[in-house]
Amino acid sequence: MKELLRKLTEAFGPSGAEREIRDIISSEVAKFCDDFRVDSLGNLICVKRPSKPTSKTKKVMISAHMDEIGFAAMHIDDKGFIRFSNVGGHRPHTLVGQKVVFENGTIGYFGLEKLDSPNDLNFSKMYIDIGAKNKEEALKKVKVGDICGYVSYFYDNGDRVISKSLDDRACCAILIEAMKKVKNPKNELYCVFSTQEELGLRGARVAAYGIDPEIGLSLDVTGAGDTPNGPPMNMELGKGAAIKAKDSGAVAHPGIKDLLISLAEKKEIPYQMEVLDGGSTDAAAIQLTRMGVPSGTISVPTRNLHTPSEMIDMSDYEAAIELTVEFMNADFSKI
């Protein structure tokens, strides 16, 4: 289980450059689905069909985004220093001195100009240094438009793990593990590993339009309020899978939210309720597809989000797998 997490989190795959991570996930899921395809935006769509559909069988889309936050080379100066644009949300103070890797393997780090005041810290005062002596040498390794992501490794601290891109590779792993466990689903399952979530839920929006599901579920991480002077949030590491009530992009469909709570309580799966002030998930895109889709979210509480050192608790991860499996086989006739 942890080895799958390691493989997924250490893979390269910022938004718009998901080829490597998609190939890894494809190799993991090929034998556990009836069909899979890649759509025009790069989403990996895996289908599991029931052997004997009934009147209660629904078309269910479950989405976990496979992209991670990153950066794009924006300008290379005469001395070979690279100015950059963010791909997804970053906080400047977390970048200084961090290493990044481009898709071709070129490594660099974030440098910082001299500041008159700490309040002047922003992306325009920063650059990526790949050790080039001049622009000509830099251009042999990096071109304007090339995308890079954090260099970080998976650390197993026992009950908790630390890595980059647990947002949302942890949930990609959850979806893979759930697909393995569901041998003969009661519903027609469209398991989507979506692209460009960090740029505005783009992949899920396209995938949902093509699939036209009757029920939607997003698997994503969420914040945690259990650190010193942390934000006042209900979610804590080790308290179970989080069932979302709302975030800044969507209010969970009450039928889906109540079903998830009922499934968790019936199967004695640890859970906690989530309200998130900032950020959203693929559920917000699925929910507004075509005529509208009843949708909800299962989340994994995560510390230090959108940094190279995100942390989750493995018991929350396992609870999310169990709850996802139950959801895949649920009766949605009363939604």
Q: What residue type is 143 in one-letter code?
A: K
First to last CA, the chain: 33
Candidate list 18, 197, 198, 326, residue with the active-site label: 197
DSSP H helices, 182-313, are 202-211, 254-266, 282-287
Examine the residue annotation and report whether 197 is marked as an active-site residue of this protein: yes
Q: What is the largest CA-CA distance in the chain?
A: 69
Residues, the chain, total?
Answer: 335
Phi, psi values for residue 317, rounded to 5°: -60, -45
Among 20, 8, 13, 23, which residue's Cα sits nearest to residue 148?
13
Q: Which residues contact 31 (CB under 8 A, 6 or more apart)?
A: none
Among 87, 13, 63, which residue's Cα sits nearest to residue 206?
63
**Is the CB of residue 235 less than 8 Å from the CB of residue 300?**
no
For residues 256-279, b (16+ Cβ closer than 10 Å) or e, as one string? bbebbeebbeeeebbbbebebeeb
* Rounded Cα gap, residues 101 and 94, in angstroms: 16
Q: State whether residue 120 is helix, strand or coil.
A: helix
How many other CB atoms are found less than 10 A from the CB of residue 146? 17
How many other CB atoms are found less than 10 A from the CB of residue 186? 19
Place of tokens 């709570």: 261
Question: Is the bond leading into 168 cis (omega within 30 degrees of zero)?
Answer: yes
Active site residues: 197
